[in-house]
Structure 1
């Protein structure tokens, strides 16, 4: 009969393009059409007559009566959800007639679902299987739990939701569990957690533990049906019951952050931290094995740890949000403990993310030029038999760009750590983060410098390498005075070991000297090239004062045929010429006698009118 799939599919299809009002209108039409098919619909202008409750005989005759009962229950449930959605934006809680109407609709839906359970329980008549009965029982318990939730009857609500949860988990072992997972995560588990909180159940208990304790074990028939599907589901050892961590007996009860130990009061956080510890142990084993060779395979081993760490961070944030919604102030000790836990969990998550980037960078965090990851796995025999292949420059630059992207991601992750609560006030941690950032900044500058070296830009490479060396020196000064507790065999994370920082420091020292030598050689070659180009047309006879370091050009000894050229003349020849050339001199000042003489001469020359004539 597949009751759960029928209900969940109908809800998803309606809510995908609409809301609860759309779902309610669809159910009204489906219910009317179903009654028409069963020939029990009230005719137009006819008097309404109350229908008899569904029976096992009717179900055995026609399975449409099953759909009729489900449509009836869903219509009442959708009607109630529509009213809740309309009043969800109200600042005050839903009270008065609206709340009473919602409760009455949910109660009607629960009664319809419970009638279906009673009818299906007669398996000899209806032919229903145990799975069908369990699905109907879980559906009825879930609707009844929603009714008791609105009535604020927390213990019966917890019992109903616990019944639904145990049944759905048992059914997921023999059926496809995707639909059950959605119901558990979206509806049942949050309701159990809130009802448990209202019932003063400790938050240290996991939801599975709360459900087992609230499950009605007095119902022998239901217990027997569940044990048929999963005999271990209802069994719980005393140690697990005391710890409240079902399935994770070694879950941590406290977490330490910067010499502060905080008690973990939320079971979801403890379970997530236990999963993180387990994934970390598996990561260490996998990296220590000889099977992992390629950096991509080593980075893939970090995925499980990152997922578990993200779950722990999400669980911590969810716990903080729940307390804030309940009106708990920031000064409350529970909020303070959760904030410390949140900082610690997020720090470890970002630390593993940085470790994954370091593994992808290659050996020694990508400090070596040939330490980039390869794309294929090669055995030792093949590597020894084949000659090393020269990689083209373009491929090398592309790999260097990939490294720079990883370093940028690492530096962004370090900056995100500084934004966590409480980190800004921790000066020692800030110094450590700044030194770590300088270490990766040095690696980034070294990588960019190598790309400039490959493109014959030696001066740029020298400047970047010198900057990388300065950054590394500052990081080395910090790490040399602070001992690191991590071992050399542990997986990479944000912590930098002494051997790694010393290796980079020595490498950069040699790289700086090498780049200086290359720049000097380039300068000498450039000077020689400039001299050669400028003296290429000057014959050797005019360059006898220069030493030909590259050898004399015997094809350019003199200019032939000779050209007429100006000959330099000494200033002595101009001094001798002064004795033979009459240069114009400055005229003396006129006197009285000279003026009279010039007037007499002018009068003697005048003849006739206006000086013309004989």
Structure 2
């Protein structure tokens, strides 16, 4: 019958584009259409007649009666949520007749849902399965718990929500539906936590444990149905295993941050820290195995640790928000302890994130040029016997760019640590973070220098390598005085060992000498190319306009013995000879014809400037 999916999908679809008022109107229309299909709707201007409650026989004849009952309960719930949303911003809160109206609507919806459970229990007539009955029972428990929550009946409220949680947990083990998980995380678990707080249940108990203890074990039929789906769900030994955490029974009770030990009072944080320890142990074992060779596979092994660490961060933030909503001041010891815990778990998340980037960079944090991951999976034996393949410079530059992106991400993560509460006042930690940043700055500068070297820009490569060497020298001077707290076989994180800085220092020292040699060779080659033999050069007296960058050549001041060289001379002889030599045809060209003189009139003489004037 899929009761839960019918209700949740209708809520999500309506609330995605509207509010509870829109949802209430949609339910009213759906309910009227459903009554029309069943021929029980009151006609227009007709007299209302009570059709009576729905029976198991009605449900066996037509399944529409099931949706009629669900729509009735859901409309009452939406009506109550509509009033609650409208009056949530009141200065005095929801009081008086408004609260009474909300409680009455929720109670009406709970009665309709409980009546549906009663009808479905007659399995011989309705043909309902145990799953259908459990879904209807969980839905009725949620609405009844909401009514008791508004009425501030905390123990019955806790019992109702615990029933819904146990049922949905049992159904999720067999049906593998994400809808149940969403209901648990969004609606049921926060209500259980708040009701447990009102009934003075300590926070050290996890929500699965609280739900198991508040579950009505006296209902033998319900216990039997749950036992068929999840036999170990209600046992005493699985108080923490219900949450799906590995190693949760040995959850830590304290957390240490910078030599300060803080007691963990929230069970969700303790379970998250226990899952981090279990995931770290699995990561160490996986990295030590011979199957993991490629950096991408090694980085993928960090996913479980990162997820568990993020869960611890979320649980700590949720615990702080709950205390703030309860009106607890910042000076309270619980808030102070949670702030320290928050800094510790956030530092742990960032540390594992940096460790994942270091693994992706390759061997020795990507300090070696050929330490990037390969595209094919090879065993260690094949990798050692395989001949190295020569790659084009463009391929190497692309890999260096990927490393620079990882180093930038690591440097941003280090800067984000400084923004955590309490870090700015810890001088030793700030010095350690600065030294760590210098180490990764050196790696970044080395990668950029190598890209310049591959493009034949030796001077740029030398400057960047020198900068990387200076940064690494400062980082090595700091880490050489500190002792590492983790063994060499442990997974990489933010902690930099002295062996890492020493390896990079020695590598940069050799790279610096190599770059200097390349620059010197390029300079000598350039001089050889630009040099010209003395015989081809002009004497110094003819090159006074040039600056002697290589010094003055005093051995070639002038050309001796002098040579006769042609010089440009204007032919004045021909200009003078033109006036005295009578060339053939000169008279004809200059003498006018007689007839032309007689026929043509004389031209008037021009006066003034440019022919104008009197």
Q: TM-score range by the shorter chain?
A: 0.7 to 0.9
Matched, 1:496 2:496: yes
Superposed, 1:459-538 pairs within 5 Å as 459-532=459-532
Contact 1:114 1:140 in 2 (8 A): yes
Q: Distance in 1 between matches of 2:97 and 2:80?
A: 12
Deviations 1:410-445 (A, max 9, x none): 111000001100011111111111111111111111
Equivalent residue for 2:216?
216
- Which residue in 1 is equivalent to 2:424? 424
Distance 1:246 1:504, change over 3 A: closer
Contact 1:245 1:251 in 2 (8 A): no
Give the SS at the match of 2:531: helix
Structure 2 residues without counterparts, runs of 5 or longer:
543-558, 568-614
Check the 8 A contact 1:296/1:360 in 2, yes or no.
yes
Counterpart of 1:407 in structure 2 is: 407
Per-residue deviation, 1:57 = 2.0
User: Greater CA deviation, 335-344 or 476-485?
Assistant: 476-485
Separation (CA, whole Å) in 2 of partners of 1:379 and 1:230: 43
Equivalent residue pairs, number: 546
Aligned-pair distance for 1:178? Answer: 1.1
Paired position in structure 2 for 1:361:
361
Partner of 2:272: 272
In 2, Cα distance between the equivalents of 1:12 and 1:535? 92
Answer yes or no: is the 8 Å Cα contact 2:247–2:278 preserved in 1. no
Partner of 1:334: 334
Distance 1:178 1:300, change over 3 A: same
Partner of 1:579: none
Question: Are residues 1:195 and 2:210 paired?
Answer: no
Partner of 1:604: none
Please give the alpha-carbon distance, in whole angstroms, between the structure 2 residues aligned to 1:167 and 1:244.
16
SS of aligned partner of 2:349: helix
Change (3 A) 1:471 1:534: farther
TM-score between the two structures when normalised by the length of structure 1: 0.85
Per the alignment, in what secondary structure is the counterpart of residue 174 of structure 1? helix
SS state of the match for residue 262, structure 1?
strand
Checking the alignment, whether the CA contact within 8 Å between 1:254 and 1:262 is kept in structure 2 is yes
For the aligned residue pairs, the C-alpha RMSD in angstroms reads 2.4
How far apart in 2 are the matches of 1:64 and 1:436?
A: 67
Structure 1: 5+ residue runs without aligned partners?
543-558, 568-614
For the pair 1:76 / 2:51, whether they are aligned, the reply is no
The aligned counterpart of 1:232 is 232
Which residue of 2 is the match for residue 104 of structure 1?
104
Match of 1:251 in 2: 251
The CA deviation string for residues 329-349 of structure 1, in whole angstroms up to 9 with x for no partner, is 110000000000000001011
Structure 1 position 246, deviation (Å): 9.7
Deviation at 1:112, TM superposition (A): 0.6
- TM-score, normalised by the number of residues in structure 2: 0.85
Measured in 1, the distance between the counterparts of 2:382 and 2:425 equals: 55
Tell me the CA shift for residue 404 of structure 1: 0.8
1:343 aligns with 2:338: no
1:390-419 superposed Cα distances (whole Å, 9 cap, x missing partner)? 211111111111111111111110000011
SS at match of 1:21: helix
1:181 Cα offset (Å)? 0.9
Q: How do residues 543-558 of structure 1 correspond to structure 2 at under 5 angstroms?
A: none
Change (3 A) 1:468 1:247: closer
Provide the rounded CA distance (Å) in 1 between the counterparts of 2:285 and 2:367: 26
Paired with 1:520 and 1:289, the residues of 2 have a C-alpha distance of 47
Q: Distance in 2 between matches of 1:42 and 1:281?
A: 67
Q: Say if 1:238 and 1:449 are closer, same or farther in 2 by CA, change over 3 A.
A: closer
Q: Distance in 2 between matches of 1:313 and 1:203?
A: 17
* CA contact 1:245–1:267 (8 Å) conserved in 2: no
Give, in whole Å, the separation in 1 of the partners of 2:172 and 2:496: 46
| Cα distance change, pair 222–532 in 1 and its aligned pair in 2 (3 A) | same
Q: Is the 8 A contact 1:209 1:246 kept in 2?
A: no
Shift of 1:476: 1.1
Cα 1:190/1:128, change in 2 over 3 Å:
same
Question: Could you report, residue by residue, the CA deviation over 1:360-390 in whole angstroms, capped at 9, with x for unpaired residues?
Answer: 1111111111111211123456556654322
Moved more, 122-131 or 282-291: 122-131
CA–CA separation in structure 2 for the residues paired with 1:5 and 1:244: 23
Match of 2:603 in 1: none
CA 91–277 in structure 1, closer or farther in 2 if over 3 Å, else same: farther
Give distance in 2, aligned partners of 1:250 and 1:497. 30
Distance in 2, matches of 1:511 and 1:401, equals 19
Alpha-carbon distance change, 35 to 240 in structure 1, aligned in 2, over 3 angstroms = closer
- Contact 2:139–2:164 (CA under 8 A) maintained in structure 1: yes
